[in-house]
A and B are shown apart, each in its own frame.
Chain A
Amino acid sequence: MIPMIIVLTFSAFLCLYRIQQGPTIPDRAVGVDIMGIIFVNITALTAVFYNLPYLMDLSIIIALFSFIGTLGLAKYLEKRSLDD
């Protein structure tokens, strides 16, 4: 269990480096998107290792909210209003 979680956490820290360092705003948006997907994977692996099925529901919900947040950031970048 431990090596898988360590590799995924290292991936999340690489995304965090891009969020802190990225020269433009879309770079940071990409970092947030990818870090959300990594968190979905970490939650699913935790559900497998501790044998807790409700954490799989939680991973689906995290994926949904990450997708909605990405679409909101993209609309903000395109300079459109959110109800357009």
Chain B
Amino acid sequence: MISPIGWIIIWIGILFNLLGTIGLVRFPDIYNRLQTSTKCVTLGSFGLMIGIFLLFGFNQTGIKALICGAFLLLTNPVGAHAILKGSLHYGIKLWKGSVVDKYGEDKLGGEQIEIEERAKEGEEKAKDG
């Protein structure tokens, strides 16, 4: 009786993984990519491990799957946060559509947002004219 529920949860996890990696390809910026891929892949992996636990019960494989899911749930956001802080200190600018950057204002001396190219061209034309 528990078996179809386990397979359905495993499929939900796999589809979350697929959507997260599609977001990794399609989003415009390192920070947006980090956000979508890490959230979706963490939830997808945890769902897959929970599905395996429901399939096997309190067994050798099931308990190990539960431990692996808990480990992924703890460590994956920590790694994403470390990469985000590292890329801010490395000097990668935010996407040009971003609104606010409080961390850059506090620690790095000014917002780290890309300037839109059209605005730059307009300023140059205004200077020439």
**Binary B-proximity of A1-41 (CB < 8 A = 1, otherwise 0):** 00010011011101101100000111101110110011011
Query: From residue A27, how far is it (CB to closest CB) to chain B in Å?
Result: 6
Query: From residue B29, how far is it (CB to closest CB) to chain A in Å?
Result: 9
Q: How large is the interface on A (under 10, 10 to 19, 20 to 34, 35 or more residues)?
A: 35 or more
A77 close to B64 (CB less than 8 A): no
Contact residue among B11, B41, B56 (Cβ-Cβ distance under 8 Å from A37): B41
B21 close to A27 (CB less than 8 A): no
The number of chain B residues with a CB under 8 A from chain A is 47
- Chain B residues contacting A75 (CB-CB under 8 Å) are 82, 86
A30 close to B83 (CB less than 8 A): yes
Q: Which residues of A contact B (CB under 8 A)?
A: 4, 7-8, 10-12, 14-15, 17-18, 24-27, 29-31, 33-34, 37-38, 40-41, 44-45, 47-48, 53, 56-57, 59-60, 63-64, 67, 70-71, 73-79
Cβ contacts A to B, 20 pairs, < 8 Å: A7-B18, A14-B21, A14-B22, A15-B21, A15-B24, A18-B24, A26-B30, A26-B92, A27-B33, A30-B34, A31-B24, A33-B38, A37-B41, A40-B72, A53-B61, A56-B65, A60-B67, A70-B82, A73-B86, A79-B89
